[in-house]
Amino acid sequence: MLFWGDYMAKRKRKINIEKMLKEGRGQGIGPEYKPWIKIQDVPSLGRATRLKGIKTQRQHEFLSDMERNYFYILEYADEVVDIREQFPLLPLEETLSIADELGFEHPKNPETGEFIVMTTDFFITKASNNEVIQVARTIKAKDELMNKRVLEKFEIERVYWQRKNISWAMVTENEINKDIASNISFVHGYKDITELDSFKNIEHLELLDLICEFVKRIIDMICPLE
């Protein structure tokens, strides 16, 4: 029997999901993609970061330092052609069914108790040897994998992607080279220096002269004349 309160809760949940879909959340590719979860949706997170992607030419939303660092690695991986973060596992009924089959409680909103749409941290498109493949990756600190509830949520996620024949795996800090990510972070914002305020009013030829001088100094540092 479906009680009125249950019916209204289900209807409200459906309306909320439809509203987010109308906003374009979790849809599109490349510059058109919009993550299902944005930083403003989770104001309590203190380590969230926004970065403009070079490959996607859009703003990415990361909810942790590990997500940001993994993004840097993906951004500079030759085979990666698209990066979609906070990717929704839709329809909601599918993950609800999987959780029920596994005997696990489906994730809920802690404030309202309503079932929420689960997300995968990264949905990645790779192109190699004239073949395009998609993989799903979830970021988690190694210590948190000892938590039974965390593993239950991951199992729901794993089965979801398995049924879609898409490779899914967890990524911990052991798989993210912090030194490489840090080095990439230093140069990432300088991909197009014409977008920087200090270079916007410089003439094209003057900018070329600066680049040539900069390259010359680097060469002199690496290969000094004896």
Give 16's pLDDT tier (boundaries 50, 70, 90): confident
143 and 164 inside one domain? yes
76 and 118 inside one domain? yes
pTM (two decimals): 0.81
Instruction: Domain of residue 218: give its range.
Output: 192-222
Q: What pLDDT is recorded for position 225?
A: 56
DSSP annotation of 40: G
Work out how many domains the chain is built from and give that number. Answer: 2
Question: Is residue 182 within 8 Å of 188, Cβ to Cβ?
Answer: no
d(CA 140, CA 89): 18
8 and 99 inside one domain? yes
Task: Tell me which residue of 5, 39, 20 sits closest to 113, measured CA to CA.
Answer: 5
127 and 196 inside one domain? no
Confidence check: pLDDT of 199 > 70? no
d(CA 6, CA 8): 6
Q: What pLDDT is recorded for position 41?
A: 85
147 and 44 inside one domain? yes
Confidence check: pLDDT of 8 > 50? no
CATH of the domain at 32: 3.40.1350.10
65 and 167 inside one domain? yes
d(CA 145, CA 141): 7
Give 6's pLDDT tier (boundaries 50, 70, 90): very low
14 and 117 inside one domain? yes
d(CA 86, CA 83): 10
Tell me the H-state helices in the chain. Answer: 4-22, 65-75, 92-102, 148-162, 178-188, 204-222
| Order of all β-strands in the sheet with 131-139 | 80-88, 119-128, 131-139, 167-171
104 and 197 inside one domain? no
121 and 178 inside one domain? yes
Q: Tokens 């190699």 belong to which residue?
A: 128
Of the two residues 218 and 90, the one the predictor is more confident about is 90
DSSP characters over 180-201: HHHHHHHHHTTSSGGGSGGGTT
Question: Is residue 173 within 8 Å of 142, Cβ to Cβ?
Answer: yes
Fill in the amino acid letter for 58.
R
95 and 202 inside one domain? no
149 and 212 inside one domain? no
38 and 138 inside one domain? yes
